[in-house]
Homo-oligomer: A and B are copies of this chain.
């Protein structure tokens, strides 16, 4: 028993729109982590126009470290958003491409990007107003 929150261990259930949500195993959070990660959604957007190789992605996203590029690609591959295809050339080349799931998510992501661009100014304004408090 958690004294601070009153939550019972192993049964962390929030009520959202009248529907109980198990926060311990939440489908939405699962997906949210894929969009929320620092590079994940940018990666999916980068692959929108077609497959790219590791080094191409590196050049496309200049300020990602090799470590993070690898890890982000792994995570997205693991969750089924993209394919990893190895061509046995010398030296090896590896191509990444969106799966059907990835493309499905991409349409959602684009809505999200559009909304962001439309409302970015309003958010900045709200933020500025909040910050200039007396």
Contact = CB atoms under 8 A, between A and B. Distances in A.
A49 B49 CA distance: 39
| Residues of A contacting B: mostly | helix
Contacts of A12: 62-63
B17 A48 contact: yes
A78 B42 contact: no
Interface in A48-70: 48-49, 58-66
B108 A111 contact: yes
Contact of A63 (B2, B16, B30, B119): B2
Contact of A23 (B41, B63, B123, B127): B63
Contacts of A130: 77-78, 80
